[in-house]
Structure 1
């Protein structure tokens, strides 16, 4: 697929979206973190080369071969992502996930007119322009399922693993904390 665009930023976005929809494996699809990181590095190398126009025909052949070999896994991962997005959207609205019948009913209700505001949503006021609540709806639960608030039923091991991964993603490590503590402790010692 050749992306022709006058804006290089749009070209990069289109290429990244295309590659992400094909190479959509997750960390739990691999036996080790090293293999997952190698996979991500290879995907990023191909993406960069496509963006820069380096060996495009060779990379397109690799992509086609990968799609052919992993078609079933690609479709499963796309479906899993769509289900997770639907569940996250429903959770952010404080509603259970919708079925096809619920979606068609919601679409009919949304076409009811200007004054129709769904339960728990904000409607504009006419004096001052500030939104006002139309009901006393409960506060939305965070997309993570509310486990930070102790709402979710996850066990302690998965909570600590999630917290550790989040800390690492933010750049924190125990070694940095130890080094800083030692530097601060020894930095306050005065030698005369």
Structure 2
């Protein structure tokens, strides 16, 4: 693992150390050797090495965590005794969300290509940008033609407007459930076991 990767781990895990980096590299190397070995005897031996390296890394990681959190607790105790205001400020900054929160830079790009940090220019630039999003016009909106497209609702289609037949319900139920219990639509798949003629006869006799 290079120094860049180690810095990333330090940023996300404050308790990470250089010794942990060395141990982690040993674990990764042992794992690769174990997974890529095709010989049975060597595979068993390499697996033992991998498990041993992994246990060493886990033990050291837990030890580093305990030492880090203990030092944090000692720091808070000392701050509480010497500077209570700084203590509560430190408490407010504790947490993963506060440590990794990315801030929006107070700068904008002008029309001439220059960058400005002036607060008035920043507010006006963002105001104009949001105003353009909510109030588009045909001149600067590329999707204006699509947005103004009129969709007709009076399209005549006999296939879509026709009644749903028994065959359609039967095919959908059997294909979706494969003869099992009903789903959220409450259509019993067992309806397919009856003959269509028998159901039609019952509807005629019953007047349904």
TM-score (normalised: structure 1) = 0.22
Between structure 1 and structure 2, the one with the greater Rg is 2
TM-score (normalised: structure 2) = 0.21
- Higher helix content, 1 or 2: 2
